[in-house]
């Protein structure tokens, strides 16, 4: 198996950090076929308190790190002419953008903006033949997920109510991401695909 290279982008809130990271990648690999945005952050107090108490700074922080970073990274990669012909971009989002999920708060609002950004970016990037899509993944216990209040009970509800009665795995999200990176999805852009064992289609 080929070794994966790791390039650090310390803080996506800083254009300079994004620029340095992309330059490093370009130096070693030239053009890239795909780009995955898997970054999100909100201040802990904004995930603990009621949404109405979100501070101006906390709101801006969640939007900057979790949403604007996608716009900045994609724009810079395009400006550096490091996207290969037919390149595909994928960003991870969550159902908390569509429905109110206890404790998701300002992150739900950031994900709603991320999903809208994906659609607007699809229009711009389509001019160059690039695609961009979102995957709305079901909940998975990761470091970030630990910041969400009562995350364990969210997993229980999905298992009970999702049509497939189980939670998604990291591999399943990875498989769908590989599909969106591949030519098998060449006619799909600006789309948000739910990879959630069907949880989002259930009403009552």
Ligand X SMILES: NC(=O)c1ccc[n+]([C@@H]2O[C@H](COP(=O)([O-])OP(=O)(O)OC[C@H]3O[C@@H](n4cnc5c(N)ncnc54)[C@H](O)[C@@H]3O)[C@@H](O)[C@H]2O)c1
Which segment (9-17, 44-52, 174-182, 185-193) binds ligand X by CB under 6 A? 9-17
Site for ligand X, residues 74 to 93, rule: CB under 6 A: 92-93
Which of 58, 108, 134, 139 forms a contact with ligand X (CB under 6 A)?
Answer: 139
Which segment (48-56, 79-87, 140-148, 179-187) binds ligand X by CB under 6 A? 140-148
Site for ligand X, residues 35 to 54, rule: CB under 6 A: 38-41
Whether 95 is catalytic: no
Question: Cβ of residue 144: shortest distance to ligand X, in angstroms?
Answer: 3
Give the separation between CA 52 and CA 68, rounded to whole angstroms.
22
Instruction: From 33, 40, 5, select the one nearest 21 (Cα to Cα).
Output: 5
Please pick, among 92, 94, 95, 130, the residue that the annotation labels catalytic: 94
Nearer to ligand X, 122 or 134 (CB): 134
Total number of residues binding ligand X (CB under 6 A)? Answer: 19
User: If binding is defined by CB under 6 A, does position 169 make contact with ligand X?
Assistant: no
Which of 43, 49, 84, 144 forms a contact with ligand X (CB under 6 A)?
Answer: 144
Which of 20, 140, 172, 198 forms a contact with ligand X (CB under 6 A)?
Answer: 140
Strands 131-137, 32-37: pairing kind: unpaired
Whether 59 is catalytic: no
User: If binding is defined by CB under 6 A, does position 142 make contact with ligand X?
Assistant: yes
Which of 13, 43, 49, 84 forms a contact with ligand X (CB under 6 A)?
Answer: 13
What Å distances lie between residue 27 and 10, 20, 32, 35, 73, CA to CA? 18, 10, 11, 16, 17
Instruction: From 103, 130, 107, select the one nearest 118 (Cα to Cα).
Output: 130
Give the separation between CA 71 and CA 111, rounded to whole angstroms.
13
State the virtual CA torsion across 162, 164, 167, 173 in degrees, nearest 10: -110
Please pick, among 59, 92, 95, 104, the residue that the annotation labels catalytic: 104
Q: Please check whether residue 200 is in contact with residue 194, taking contact to mean a CB–CB distance below 8 angstroms.
A: yes
Q: Please check whether residue 103 is in contact with residue 51, taking contact to mean a CB–CB distance below 8 angstroms.
A: no
Q: Which residues contact 4 (CB under 8 A, 6 or more apart)?
A: none
Burial grade of 13 (CB within 10 A; 0-12, 13-18, 19 or more): middle
Question: Cβ of residue 129: shortest distance to ligand X, in angstroms?
Answer: 26
Catalog residues that contact ligand X under the rule CB under 6 A. Answer: 9, 11-13, 38-41, 65, 92-94, 137, 139-140, 142-145
Q: Hey, which residues are catalytic here? A: 94, 104
């Amino acid at each position: 198996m080929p070794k994966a290279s790791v390039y650090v982008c310390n803080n996506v809130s800083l254009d300079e950090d994004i620029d340095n990271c992309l330059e490093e990648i370009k130096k070693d690999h030239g053009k890239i076929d795909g780009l995955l945005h898997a970054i999100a952050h909100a201040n802990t107090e904004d995930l603990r308190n009621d949404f109405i108490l979100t501070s101006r700074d906390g709101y801006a922080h969640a939007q900057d790190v979790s949403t604007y970073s996608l716009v900045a990274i994609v724009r810079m990669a395009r400006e550096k002419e490091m996207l290969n012909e037919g390149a595909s971009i994928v960003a991870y989002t969550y159902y908390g953008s569509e429905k109110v999920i206890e404790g998701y708060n300002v992150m739900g609002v950031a994900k709603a903006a991320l999903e809208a950004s994906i659609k607007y970016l699809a229009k711009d990037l389509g001019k160059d033949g690039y695609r961009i899509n979102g995957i709305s993944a079901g909940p998975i216990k990761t470091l970030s997920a630990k910041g969400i209040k009562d995350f364990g009970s969210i997993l229980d509800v999905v298992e009970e109510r999702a049509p497939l009665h189980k939670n998604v795995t990291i591999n399943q999200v990875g498989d769908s991401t590989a599909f969106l990176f591949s030519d098998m999805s060449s006619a799909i852009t600006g789309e948000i695909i739910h990879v959630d064992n069907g949880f989002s289609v259930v009403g009552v």
